Structure 1
Amino acid sequence: MTQDDTGVAVTGMGLVTPAGADEPTFWAGLCAGRSVARSIDELAGLPVDFACRIDGIDLDQAVGERTVWRMARFVKLAVIAARQAVADAGLSPAGWDGSRVGVVLGVGVGGVSVLIDNLRKLDDAGPEAISPLLVPMMIPNAAAGEVAIALRAHGPSLATATACASGATAIAVARDLLTSGRCDIAVAGGAEAVLTPLVVAAFAKLGALSTRTADPAGASRPFAADRDGFVMGEGAAMLVLERTADARARGGRPRALLAGAGSSTDARHPTAPEPDGRGAQQAVEAALDQAGWAPREVDHINAHGTSTPLNDAMETALVSRLFPHRPSVTAPKGVLGHTLAAAGAIEAVATVLTLEHGVVPPIANLDALPDGFGLDCVTKEPRRQDVERAVSHSFGFGGHNVALAFERA
């Protein structure tokens, strides 16, 4: 048995993003390298009134079940992405042993919009007006639970919450479930939908958001000298993971190999990353060690790239120090905005697509790097590149760091 046969394979992918609600549309939008940020009516009057919102899909119709009424928006996104991923893998809940199927789903905030709506009802009409489904709709693990129900998955069902690294953490945990033998199939990823005035105003008050209200499409500018904060987004992405030998035995198509995953914690500050990136480097090195790679073997990096002054400087220091051979770098948040808990999973999909297509999408709105940023950032247009090995970075408030190492199948 080869090393490939003993590892973990990505056999299916699904996603719903501001750039597209299916894989081909998403990939085309990412490769176009143009931000989809725009002014949002619901945010009118706020200091930051723009975001990257999902349009062009009827979520209720896409879920297509009578139970849709009990799902918050982030749950609907997760269910849609999970079904896409399972279909892409050539699997069906009707044909698998559900006791051997696990679900791991990262969520950062949960159904805050449902909570806000019911708080208004409480203020306006008293406790009798509150929905009896408020609790099961707003709790962060609602997405993992509803995905498990939709897929008839009776194995481990977990909700990971590591802020903006949650989706990547879910994928790393799912890999562990497979390698430990606790399940045979894992559906893993992340979902987030919090484009409400309260949450956007809170991030703006924190100083995390770009304030380019006159130019929303130019606001998210990862690694640019004049970056001033991130742009809020929403979305979901799910991956089907299987042990490679199992996937090949059933005639499945490994789209990429999840060769390694690493995690660490800065243990320094609740919102600011460690400036020199040493904590993040620990996660990347753990992923490389698990994959059995030397840093020089990495061809491409899908950066966390939030467009904030602190993150991009930290990530530049990390990449420059650990990868002096200058692998290509992209940052999808320039196009998509920051989808918070979904970001790591969406960017995992983008990394797999880069391996498959031999194309690195450009970073939106990046014209020139600041002095001292010695990265090989892909800009302006997609770059053709034979990528064999790639690493995807995810970092979150609380000092959470996750790195995923993907290899071409």
Structure 2
Amino acid sequence: MDYKLYETLNRLPGLFAIAATMIFGIIIIFTFIVRIFQFPHLRQKYWQYDNTQSIPTRILKTTVFLLLAAGLLGVISYNVYKMKNDPPKLLVTVERSKEPPSMLVCKSDDMTFITVRYYDSFNSFVNNPKQNLDLSGDFKLFQRESDSSCTFFNSTSSLMTIDNPGGFYLLGFTKILKKVLNGMSGNASIISIYIGDTNNETDWSLPMPQGNKFSDVGFLLASSSGIFQYTETWHKALNGINGITYRGFQINSIGNFEFEGVSVDDNSMQPTIWIGLIAPTTVITQVEKPPLTLADLLSNVGGYLSVWAIFGFLFGVRKANPFGFVSGFIFINQDRAKLRKELDRMKNERSSKLSNLEKGEEDNTTETNGLSNQSAELRNLLAKYYVDMDFYEHAVKTPDV
């Protein structure tokens, strides 16, 4: 599944909810169809039209219903359009940096790249310069168009691991004898360092390496020793199978510093130019989120459905069904037996009350008959307008389900 669709559907909980809803809906529809064809009284119930409202009320009711239904379709269509076409939302977080960047180091012809050392922090370098990790073997020669004076450190293929966030990289260069270029002597010592992320969209062979719109490549140009600090940002995009994280870099100069007397090992050959790079301890992460998720869609639709309360206010609601779908379509025998048991109990209680009344005066008999007639009228009124008595009538009058 596409990662953007996966996020839009609220990941595994959303997929589970969709699957459960589909299974539940299929079961209900299948049960309804089977029961409709199995029992004639259900076909009569749902196909027989009985409306106690006047024609003007029916016309107004139908008009309002169609308007609300059109509005519901409009709300669903609008939200689905936003889910598909709106730009993603951005969530900004701060995370710890634990992955080294890739580096491309290029130099002028009068320079030699000597060493690269890594420290846990700048303080570690200051306190004990000899406790470091030598990365010189991880920098490989790199051919960049017509320039063969570059070396490349690929973070994705390096065995380097960082236990603590941040760190300090120290790159050492030394000058060689002056050369005469085109009959002119010069000493143009130029060092260019590019910092970026190695992915399929980053082209390191360009004069100015670059990635896509989310993968900025940091660049510094130096001719003398100095300390620089780079900042890193992550952009987690909504594409690919598991999502893609793009890394962007920017380099800022802290100032020119001289590293006289610095010794990172016991080698007598010491660089004459040092470039220090301070790595950040944290990175700012921009996380793309779907413009509208399945939960948002259901929430918006549910908010619109609350407007349908106006429909019930204007035209009333359907008759109450105290038995429900399960009693009428699924556990018919069980609920029918329970209902008849309750009716028998109520009948016995009523017979007991009538026996007590017969022992009284004759006027009580007349009053009892009047109350019985009123009860019958009330029952007919409730069955006509308020209470769905279909299951009751079926359970009492029909011996077999």
Higher relative contact order (CA 8 A, sep 6+): 1
- Tell which structure's C-alpha radius of gyration is larger: 2
Question: Which protein is richer in strand relative to its size?
Answer: 2
On whether the aligned pair clears a TM of 0.5, the verdict is no
Relative to the length of structure 2, the TM-score reads: 0.24
